[in-house]
A and B are shown apart, each in its own frame.
Chain A
Amino acid sequence: MSHWPLLSILIWLPILGGAAVLALGNNRAGAARWLALAIALASLALSVPLFTGFDYAEAGMQFLEQKAWIPAYDIQYHLGVDGISVALIGLTTLVTALVLIGAWSSIDKRVSQYYAAFLFLEGLMIGVFSALDSILFYVFFEGMLIPMFIIIGVWGGPRRVYASVKFFLYTFLGSVFMLVGLIYMYLKGGSWQLADLYALQLSAAEQTWLFFAFLIAFAVKVPMFPVHTWLPDAHVEAPTGGSVILAAIMLKIGGYGFLRFSLPIVPDAGQEWAWLVIALSLIAVIYVGLVALVQDDMKKLIAYSSISHMGFVTLGTFIAFGLVRDYANVDAARLGLQGAMVQMISHGFISAAMFSCVGVLYDRMHSRMIKDYGGVANVMPWFAALFVLFAMANSGLPGTSGFVGEFMVILASFQKHPMLAFAAATTLITGAAYTLWLIKRVVYGEIGNAHVAELEDLNPREALVLGTYAVGVLLIGLWPKPLTDLMEPSIAQLAAQLAATKLTGL
């Protein structure tokens, strides 16, 4: 166990660093870029000891830090990570560094504010993944709203105001219900600590109310059908970096919330209402997948595909209930949860890569419309190769990370009911259809117009960003074992928590 408060450093270095970048002012763009990059790389480097110092056999929380924060209200500054959060923190630091590199020349308006906002977000997201006090979690969770609101609204596209306000209000509305639920549990149990909430006995009616409070909060964040409508707007209008962070990490917070809150705190209500979440997930997978098919805006297409892929996360998470409780099939439940987690990490890489690819094109052409492109492969062969790779991963080709998570979830669903697996598996067709059709129209064929003919291939900076994503996608696809080993003990513990009813003690 390290003596350094590693998690605190990981949280506060980007936040204080962001303040320093902000203090440089908008006139010193170069200095702001370098300082921000240095801070992001330092965070990335600091997340390495998190992996090396992590005890892979231990299911509980590690790197613990606990201090009284607000004794008057029993709120504690309590941090710790398990295998699930370590993986997500690693993703956060990596993607943030790549986003800052990617924005190097494409952002030239209010540079220091742009970089500072991303550093704030990085710190807050790491805080979300490591908070063990529910109010501390909520503070990080809500604190992200303002920087993201500013990112979408200041550097976004033409309808940015509408999109940013919609993003803010949807997420705000979702989370306030969770706040009431947390206060309720505090009044009942006298603690905000997650560990105490896990042990709190709750009646069936209470669990149902709390379940829906959590569901609203996290369903908006994931986002699940039918509260997904903010996402396409936010994605389309956000600058490339904003879209990448939104898709790669912020959506994961919804899935993470289900694992951290809904499953262990209200397991009986989860069992009761799992059918609802499974149904909504399948609608997301199938229906939203079909919606993606008809988009003519590349970013919108990828946004809908994100919703569809996140459907697998919620499906894998909630399928576990039926497997554990009705069939006593713990192995399959663990497979489902494991699949959900792998899908989160994998989608983090794939969606980040896809949005970065669109960003590369947008920087050159200032258009996101599919019809403005065509035959890009002829002038940008390297770019085309990488884009096709990511597209394959997005449609779930074996050998890429997209396959692993989806396959695990489908396998787990099969244990519950073959029809569920069948319905989920249709994504392999629709996903392939909309992604490959996108590729066909944008990358292949004749050169669409004169502007496309003048495109230049990737510069070294873009190649570095996309290349890193490509390595991640292939690594998880070909050799997912390190990732699953990292999460295995925590997942096993979670499955045990699902199995234990909270009603007997009453």
Chain B
Amino acid sequence: MTLPIPPAVELLPLTPELVLVGATFALLMLDLFVDESRRAITHLAAIVILLVTAGLIVAGVGGQGVVLNGMFIRDDAADVMKIAICVISAMSLCYAWSYLRDRGLYKGEVPVLMLFAVSGMMLLVSSGSLVMVYLGLEMLALSSYALVAVDRDGPVASEAAIKYFVLGSLASGILLYGLSLIYGATGTLDLAQIRAVADVSSNPDLMLTGMVFVVAGIAFKFGAVPFHMWLPDVYHGAPTPITIFIGAAPKLATFGMAYRLLEGGLGPLDARWQLLIAGLAALSLVIGNLVALAQSNLKRMLAYSTISHVGFLFLGLAGGGAQGYAAALFYAISYAIMSAAAFGAIVVLSNRGFEADGIDDFKGLNARSPWMAGLVLCVMASLAGVPPFLGFWAKLAVLRAALNGDLMWLAIVGIVSAVIGAFYYLRVIKAMYFDEPVGEGPIPRADRPLRAVFGVNALALLALGLFWNPLMAWCQQAFA
């Protein structure tokens, strides 16, 4: 018996992934020979690799198709998500340099682990079988655990890493259990085949139990209530640029996973899982926003706000249909840009030995640096969902999806919790504009590239908010 080696033509649609993984290994080797003082080479090379990968997908190198016996799907949806994942990851990497450098945390492993995580995300959004889902997910998860632990001597970071690892493994286990039940009920690992028999399964109870576990696993990975306990600790404990990374692009990848599993595999059961998702959405919206009100640490506040944003994203999933998925993807991309900017503000204001992660650390920013305060204002207004910023349009899209799915009650929960949520974003604006600086007050780093990245990131929220048609058309095209 010979191994079934696929013909080379089967591998063509994987070209971007192959390039990325190959380049990542090369980078790992290269970094061994790069002197500590020239670590910038590794950093820049990693950014270039991500952008080249995105460029390959944009150029359509390799072509689309379903290959490797249906394991790997490259369609419009996969391409759109992968481009967004690469670009957003490159942006989060830009925030990492000076912050981690100052703290002696920028080891060669950091960009390499990020690239591996990106490879995992790309496989995840392309997965056509249950095995591929799990493979991609674990590749992402294991790299993320290690990234959170990069500050291995810091007690908070170590605690966060352990929590992330233990609860993340639990989530993977729950998901895996659900996948095994679905395999048991249908006798196949292929998502397309599962879809074909999902509603005529010989064992509907097993199928439904599997579905519940899968939804729980997805909710765990998203950090939706009641599976959210790990999220604030991890976001708070991880070094801020790492928080940016694990908070931004993985949301997209998890959305891709949910799309592949729920729509691609369990599509015929959508009336049932949409109900579960709607319930999770309502809980996340209410609890995320209410708990965020009580936080005085900005990173924890943003973490709880993430939970509420996941609730909004679920509005799109629960609404279902091509428009609903487009809305959820649009939300995921918008949220990734917003959260990168929000945590990015902390990075810009933190100096060596000082972490500007309390809301009080933003007091009087307008008196020190009106430009910086204006940018943070844009970010907070966008997170609160005030037009014309991008965050508003994302909310409009998911509300439309929810109403389209006859989920009026959920839309009402969404808008009321958005108003509650507005309050804690206003607290940041209030601290910056209405309060006087304490002591020397917040002083942005004199680091031009970093400030430029933050400026572009924050102004993108305004620019995309005024002209969001291309982004939305792109998301719609993914699910057309």
A interface residues with partner B (beta carbon < 8 Å): 22, 25-26, 69-73, 110, 113, 135, 138-139, 142-143, 145-146, 149-150, 153-154, 160-161, 164-165, 168-169, 172-173, 176-177, 179-180, 183-184, 186-187
Contact = CB atoms under 8 A, between A and B. Distances in A.
Contacts of B366: 110, 113, 154
Interface stretch (B21-29, B195-203, B248-256, B423-431): B423-431
B403 interface: yes
Contact of B403 (A165, A173, A180): A180
B400 A183 contact: yes
A150 B419 contact: no
A179 B393 CA distance: 11
Contacts of A71: 469, 473
B433 interface: yes
A73 B397 CA distance: 9
Given A70-B472, A187-B404, A179 B399 contact: yes
A168 B422 contact: yes
Interface string B70-99: 000000000000000000000000000000
Given A149-B426, A153-B430, A72 B473 contact: yes
B399 A146 contact: no
Interface string B396-438: 1101100110001001100110110011001001100110000
Nearest to A70: B469
A187 B426 contact: no
Contacts of A26: 370
B433 A150 contact: yes
Contacts of A161: 430, 434
Given A73-B472, A153-B430, A168-B422, 4 more contacts: A146-B386, A180-B399, A187-B403, A187-B404
Contact of B387 (A143, A154, A165, A186): A143
A113 B476 CA distance: 39
A78 to B, nearest CB: 15
A146 B381 contact: yes
Q: Identify the 7 closest CB pairs spanning chains A and B, nearest first.
A: A176-B415, A139-B387, A72-B472, A153-B434, A70-B469, A72-B473, A173-B419
A177 B387 CA distance: 15
B392 interface: yes
Nearest to B400: A183
19 contacts: A22-B374, A26-B370, A72-B469, A110-B366, A135-B396, A149-B426, A153-B434, A154-B433, A165-B430, A169-B422, A179-B396, A180-B399, A180-B408, A183-B396, A183-B400, A183-B403, A184-B403, A184-B408, A187-B404
**Majority DSSP secondary structure for residues of B touching A:** helix
B468 interface: yes
Contacts of B434: 153-154, 160-161, 164
Contacts of A135: 396
Interface in B427-480: 429-430, 433-434, 468-469, 472-473, 476
B403 to A, nearest CB: 5
A142 B386 contact: yes
B388 interface: yes
A173 B476 CA distance: 30
Contacts of B426: 149, 165, 168-169
Contacts of B397: 73
B388 A139 contact: yes
Nearest to B420: A169
A184 B411 CA distance: 11
**Majority DSSP secondary structure for residues of A touching B:** helix
Contact of B468 (A70, A176, A184): A70
B423 A165 contact: yes
A69 to B, nearest CB: 7
B377 interface: yes
A113 B373 CA distance: 12
B473 A177 contact: no
Contacts of A186: 400
Contacts of A149: 426, 429
Interface in B197-247: none
A53 B128 CA distance: 63
B469 A142 contact: no
Contact of A138 (B387, B403, B412, B415): B387
Contacts of B472: 70, 72-73
Contacts of A150: 429, 433
Interface in B373-398: 374, 377, 381, 386-388, 392, 396-397
A333 B424 CA distance: 45
A31 to B, nearest CB: 15
Contact of B400 (A70, A142, A169, A187): A187
A90 to B, nearest CB: 25
A143 B472 CA distance: 21
Contacts of B388: 139, 143
A27 to B, nearest CB: 10
Contacts of B412: 180
B430 A172 contact: no
Interface string B350-373: 000000000000000010001000
B419 A169 contact: yes
Contacts of A169: 419, 422-423, 426
Nearest to A141: B387
A152 to B, nearest CB: 9
A172 B422 contact: yes
A165 B420 CA distance: 12
B83 to A, nearest CB: 18
A127 to B, nearest CB: 10
Contacts of B422: 168-169, 172
Given A71-B469, A149-B429, A154-B433, A172 B403 contact: no
A120 B386 CA distance: 15
Given A73-B472, A149-B429, A161-B434, A180 B381 contact: no
Contacts of A177: 415
A146 B377 contact: yes
B419 A172 contact: yes
Contacts of B411: 180, 183
Contacts of B419: 169, 172-173, 176
B429 A142 contact: no
Interface string B1-33: 000000000000000000000000000000000
